[in-house]
Structure 1
Amino acid sequence: MKLTIFAATGGIGRQILDQAVGAGHDVTAVVRNPDKVSGPIRIVTADLASADPAALQSAIGGADAVLSGLGARSKSEAGVAWQGTRAMVQAMRATDVRRIVVVSAAPIGTVPSPGIPNPPKHDPGDGFLMRQVFGRLVKAALRDHYADLARMEDILRESTLDWTVIRPPKLTDKSLTGTYRTAYEQNVRGGWSVSRADVAHCMLDVLERPETVGRAIGIAG
């Protein structure tokens, strides 16, 4: 497949890139710093905080699918996920590319957004401790990050594109296993963590699975 990968130097983006190249895909990597990436790929330099539409259209045009590991790395970057995804969607519409898979986060199904101002109070996949203790602490600590991701998901739902959202819990740097669990429209019961490598594997795996289009998928090890 011909794939365009955004945030290809980040934790998940790098895993997507390496696995996609290893699988023999034709890859275009969109990055802010081209010095951080190399290999048998096409590199497009773009800052999604202020992206040039022509550069994004050049990166996406002709692709079979777009994959994004975009997310804020600090509180000051909150907003980059929804703004960058909006720019991707606009470029995809301009180039007639429809398939996009992005990474979000496990709590987002219960985070208010402009598109879903009154989400469920609890995720059906979460157990007692996650609902009553850990979930509250995590959402308080990462409020701005999660608001950004919730708005990003709004952008996709409104786009009419063939999108899939992957929602992992705590991310680790463990090796690829390929034996992770998934659940549609909810978190994985008892799923506390998952490796970035397995998230990337899942994102590539769902590309040609039509039943995943328009769905949010929980993932855990």
Structure 2
Amino acid sequence: MRITVFAATGGIGRCVLDQAIAAGHEVTAVVRDPSKLPSTVHTVRADLSAVDPAALETAVGGADAVLSGLGPRNARLAGITSAGTRAIVAAMKATGARRIVVVSAAPVSTVPSPDRPNPPRHDPGEGFVMRNVLTPMVKRVLRAHYADLAIMEDVLRASGLDWTSVRPPRLTDKPLTGVYRVAPEQNIRGGALIPRADVAHFMLAAVNDPTTIGHAVGIAT
């Protein structure tokens, strides 16, 4: 399978890249700095904060699936995820690529956006502590980031592509386990953590799972 990975040097993106290569897929990594990857990896240089449409079309043209771990490196770059995803979607439409799987975040299920102004007040998968203490606290600290992710999901819903948005809780750098829970359109009860490697594992599995198309999927250990 031909897979294009955006943000392939980031935490989840690098896990996706390594797992896809290990599985024998033909992988194109889209990165700002190709020197951060081994010379054996096929790369396309692109900066999604200053988009070159031709470079993106080169990256996604002929891809069976596009996987994105795009996210801001710091608070000053809040907004890059939705803008970058909008550029990726445009490149996919221009080249005929259809399948895209992206990383979002668990709190986004209750974050309003222009196309989804009245989300549920509480996520049905959250228990008392998560609903009333942890989620509100995290949303206050990362308000701009989650608002951007909510807009990114708007972009996907309006795209007409075969999309899946993966909503993990707090990420860790623990090794791949392959053991996690998923649920469409809701978070995972009691699920506060998940390794980045397991999120990447699910993203690759979701590519060939038609039941995830058109859904935001909660994931946690």
TM-score (norm 1): 0.99
Q: Which whole-Å CA distance do the structure 2 matches of 1:124 and 1:116 have between them?
A: 17
Q: What is aligned with 1:20? A: 20
Which residue in 2 is equivalent to 1:59? Answer: 59
C-alpha distance in 1 between matches for 2:185 and 2:94:
29
TM-fit CA distance, 1:75:
1.1
Paired residues, number: 221
SS of the counterpart of 1:163? strand
SS in 2 for 1:133: helix
- Alignment-derived partner of residue 196 in structure 1: 196
What amino acid does structure 2 have at the position aligned with 1:22? A
Residues 81-100 of structure 1: pairs in structure 2 closer than 5 A:
81-100=81-100
In 2, Cα distance between the equivalents of 1:40 and 1:157?
A: 35
Contact 1:53 1:87 (8 Å CA) reproduced:
yes
Q: Which residue of 2 aligns with 1:116?
A: 116
Whether the aligned pair in 2 keeps the contact of 1:4 and 1:29 (CA below 8 Å) is yes
Q: Which amino acid aligns with 1:191?
A: G
Cα drift, residue 41 of structure 1 = 2.5
Work out the CA distance in 1 between the residues paired with 2:183 and 2:102.
16
Partners in 2 of 1:108 and 1:134 — Cα distance?
14
Q: Which residue does the alignment assign to 2:157?
A: 157
Q: Aligned partners of 1:133, 1:108: CA distance in 2, in Å? A: 16
Distance in 2 between the 1:203 and 1:57 partners?
Answer: 22
Asked if residue 136 in structure 1 is aligned to residue 132 in structure 2, the reply is: no
Please give the alpha-carbon distance, in whole angstroms, between the structure 1 residues aligned to 2:64 and 2:55: 17
The amino acid that maps onto 1:189 is: R
Provide the rounded CA distance (Å) in 2 between the counterparts of 1:130 and 1:114: 25
The answer to whether the 8 Å contact 1:26/1:41 transfers is no
Give 3-state SS (helix, strand or coil) of 2:165's partner: strand
| CA-CA distance at 1:118 after TM superposition | 1.3
**Structure 2 residue 145 is matched with structure 1 residue 148:** no
Cα offset, 1:40, TM superposition: 3.3
Per-residue deviation, 1:42: 1.2
The residue matched to 1:166 in structure 2 has which SS? strand
Where does structure 1 lack aligned partners over 5 or more consecutive residues?
none
Distance 1:219-1:58 versus aligned 2 partners, 3 A rule: same
Q: Which amino acid aligns with 1:125?
A: G
Structure 2 residue aligned with 1:46: 46
Q: CA shift at 1:51, angstroms? A: 1.1
Is 1:168 aligned to residue 174 of structure 2?
A: no
One-letter code aligned to 2:57 = Q
- Residue 39 of structure 1: how far off its partner (Å): 5.0
C-alpha distance in 2 between matches for 1:28 and 1:55:
12
Q: Give the AA of the match of 1:86.
A: R
**Per-residue CA distance 1:80-115 (angstroms, 9 max, x = gap):** 100000000000000000000000000101001111
Answer whether contact 1:6 1:70 (CA < 8 A) is retained.
yes
Aligned pair 1:7/2:7, yes or no? yes
Identity of aligned residues (%): 64
Instruction: Tell me by how many angstroms 1:38 deviates.
Output: 1.5
TM-score by length of structure 2 reads: 0.99
Query: How many angstroms apart in 2 are the aligned matches of 1:150 and 1:73?
Result: 18
